[in-house]
Amino acid sequence: MCATCGCGGAGVRVSHAGHGHPHGHDRTVTLEVDLLAANDALARRNRGRLDRAGIVAVNLMSSPGSGKTTLLERTIRTLGGVSCAVLEGDQETLLDADRIAATGARAVQINTGAGCHLDAGMVARGLDALAPEDGSLVFVENVGNLVCPALFALGEHARVVIMSVTEGADKPLKYPHMFRTADLVVLTKTDLLPHVDFAVHDWADAVRRARPGVAILQVSATTGAGMDEWRAWLEGLRTHHGAPTRTG
């Protein structure tokens, strides 16, 4: 059991999309170990590994149903000239990894069992299975949860918190730590704004109360609104961290 958040440590499985037969990777954690310190050390190793290969990694965090996978599908299909790969985190199933694989991108599913977040050790094993190309862009779609994923560094270059207009505008106030760790906050499903009771101004104000000055984007993976700005942010991140710029 994780001494930090109380989630189960056993039952973690790493699986290739489309294979349908996960590989078991059970583990036992000694409670006396400082789990966050150990995780941070592994995260630094992951980051070094990525940097040596010129790979930029983005940790996507949100509650379930925010539209992370749909956003990724459209992003991958429109990022011409950029090799993309995805680590998918869910408690069970290969559903999201199979969706990503259908775009032509490399995808590996990490099933956490009872676990409510990915950690640096899971990501290390996921990267082994994923084998992303040098210079590529790796997305880590974390387990849907607005609490625990914020506590665990993975070795990522940036953290993106995603929220949809079908959630309450007060979520940044209820779950402030998640938003305090964000390098970017993305509001999805904006095509539904005429049909839901969601005050964008109030939401943006709540986001910036939790994380003053953070960049905010509004997107719709359905209509394509805001996708140019999202792609530009990703390309800027890759340029900043020395990855090759897009040529296609």
**Residue 73: what pLDDT?**
97
User: Interhelix angle for 35-52 vs 120-130, to 10°?
Assistant: 30
Mean pLDDT of the chain: 90
Look at residue 5 in the predicted model and tell me its pLDDT. 65
With 50 as the cut, is the pLDDT of residue 147 above it? Answer: yes
Q: Is the pLDDT of residue 23 over 90?
A: no
Q: How buried is 48 (Cβ within 10 angstroms: 0-12 exposed, 13-18 middle, 19+ buried)?
A: exposed
Contact yes or no for 233/184 (Cβ under 8 A):
yes
Which runs of consecutive H residues, i.e. helices, occur in the chain?
35-52, 68-78, 95-101, 120-130, 171-174, 176-180, 200-210, 227-240
Specify the DSSP class assigned to residue 245: P
Per mean pLDDT, which range of 28-37, 150-159, 195-204 is the poorest? 28-37
Query: What does the domain layout of the chain look like in residue ranges?
Result: 13-26+33-240
DSSP code, position 133: P
- The mean-pLDDT minimum among 30-34, 52-56, 130-134 falls in 30-34
Residue 149's nearest CA partner among 5, 37, 1, 52 is: 5
Gap between the Cα atoms of 234 and 83, Å rounded: 13
One-letter amino acid at 171 equals K
Domain 13-26+33-240, CATH: 3.40.50.300
Q: What is the model's pLDDT at position 239?
A: 94
How confident is the model over 38-60, as a mean pLDDT?
97
Query: What pTM, to 2 d.p., does this model score?
Result: 0.88
pLDDT at 9: 55
Mean pLDDT, rounded, for 86-106: 96
The model's confidence at residue 14, banded by pLDDT at 50, 70 and 90, is confident
At 109, the pLDDT band (50, 70, 90 cuts) reads: very high
**Both tokens of residue 163?**
């929220």
As beta bridge partners, residue 15 has 109
pLDDT, residue 30, reads 45
Question: Which of residues 28 and 62 earns the better pLDDT score?
Answer: 62
Summarize the confidence of residues 72-82 as an average pLDDT.
94
